Amino acid sequence: MMRIGVSACFFHADPQRAIFKGKTLLYLVQDVGQWLLTQGVMPVLIPTLPEKSGISLQDMVGELDGLVLQGGSDVAPESYGERALKPEWTGDRKRDIYEISLVEEFVRAHKPVLGLCRGLQLLNVALKGTLYQDIPSQIPDALNHRNWDIYEQNFHQIDLAAGSALAKLYPGVKTATVNSVHHQAVKDLGQGLSVQALSVPDRVVEAVRLNGDNYVVGVQWHPEFQNPQDPKLLSTIPLLEEFLAAAETRSSMHA
């Protein structure tokens, strides 16, 4: 059985929290775990490493076949050389450091990486790109990419880039509908990345892929939140199957 590592979402230590007072919690969004389990693979939440440990990051990556970067908190502007324009956009620098280290190690090991929503943004920053801290205030005439009241039921269309790997994954599909739960977006594209899809009509980056042999893909939507049987939405299945096929190939090479 393949084992897919999943980067953790963080609840940082909070002395005012009613449960686990003052403790840092790492968690897996249920939808992500179940999305992977539908394909018969085991999701493994990757912990942070203590300063003194008998297990290295390389050891952990060696036991896993691929990496999924979950959505969640903002990427810290500090991680791409900026200051937060508002206090609420400070982001999670500690999580950034943890996830960038994971991306670097999985890429070094030539194991596939799939970023979901924040995960796309994190990949872009890990590859020396930058972000718009807030779409509504920094991109004129942008769509509403995040509606808190309806959350994952907020949808918009995307154009798949002609000739891209994403377009080849969905033959015959030029424009599709996906969900949208984000207020940050790619500004300067990371090194080696190519744009795979853009939102319609405001042209916000919706999918990226690393050029070359390593499978490194990010999508701005949450495929794990979408109903795979809904014909109105871009199917989640080809994307997941392609990622897992890349993971299986790497696993068989090291069997």
| 63 annotated active-site | no
Kindly give the residue spans of alpha helices, DSSP state H, lying in the chain. Answer: 30-37, 57-62, 93-108, 118-126, 135-138, 165-169, 237-253
9 is catalytic: no
CB neighbourhood size of 66 (10 A)? 25
Q: Which helix (H) or strand (E) element contains residue 198?
A: strand 193-200
Out of 99, 156, 182, 224, the active site residue is 224
- Strand 3-7 vs strand 175-179: parallel, antiparallel, or unpaired? unpaired
Residue 62 dihedral angles phi and psi, to the nearest 5°: -65, -25
Q: Which residue in 156, 182, 183, 222 is the catalytic one?
A: 222
Active site residue: 9, 117, 182, 206, which one?
117
CA distance 249 to 22: 42
Clarify whether 242 is annotated catalytic: no
CA atoms of 94 and 8, how far apart (whole Å):
12
ω into residue 238 within 30 of 0, thus cis? no
Instruction: Just list the catalytic residues.
Output: 117, 222, 224
